[in-house]
Amino acid sequence: MTDHVLRDVSNGVLTLTLNRPEKKNALTRAMYQALADGIDGAGTDPDIRSVLIQAEGDMFTAGNDLGDFAAANRSEPQVEASRARGNPLLVALARATTPLVAAVNGRAVGVGTTMLLHCDLVFVSDDALLTTPFVNLALVPEAASSLTLPGRIGHARAFSMFVLGEVVDARKAVDWGIANAACPRAELRARARTAAEAIAAVRPRRLR
């Protein structure tokens, strides 16, 4: 695990904490790998029955670290080999068998929003803002979100988010079905933790 993703296991819950607040938790390749390893590993560890994803600082994540993203496009053998394998987090989210819970504090940009579509429970702070600025960056929406977002909130709303860059606040995220509930930031982690532990208390066979 990179120091930028902290790992803790207790009461059947694996907590993965984005820990790069000085960079607004912008995600590097190492952070993607650490998150993927945690989610994949949870599926084979009988002591882990739910995964909680949260973040330090005032922002859930600013999305891709653009410097790291640019470096991934260099024409070097080791970089090209890594790029050919794709983003490990996206693969881990798609094949996850352990329930995922997210606690979103503040802004969630790009993959910070699209990853939520793969989570089973999502809690947002009252000041949360979700954005998907792919078109402005000439990027393709990742994590199958061009399918999952319209499926969740409808074509018109998804089009507005993707193409017009509509910012979705906490209340709208709940109303649209992206999040389960909004709460004050001071209560966010406790609310999400309680839910994660409640999932972990369910017998795995029943949950499957």
Whether CATH 3.40.50.720 fits 5-131+165-207: no
End-to-end CA distance of the chain: 28
pLDDT in tens, 125-136: 999 999 999 888
| 139 and 114 Cβ atoms separated by less than 8 Å | no
Global confidence as pTM = 0.91
pLDDT in tens, 22-58: 999 999 999 999 999 999 999 999 999 999 999 999 9
CA-to-CA distance for 149 and 198, rounded, in angstroms?
A: 27
For residue 188, the tally of other CB atoms under 10 A from its CB is: 22
Q: Name the E strands within 56-193.
A: 100-104, 107-109, 121-125, 129-131, 168-169, 181-183
Q: Between 65 and 192, where is the model more confident?
A: 192
CA-to-CA distance for 184 and 106, rounded, in angstroms?
A: 11
pLDDT in tens, 89-100: 999 999 999 999
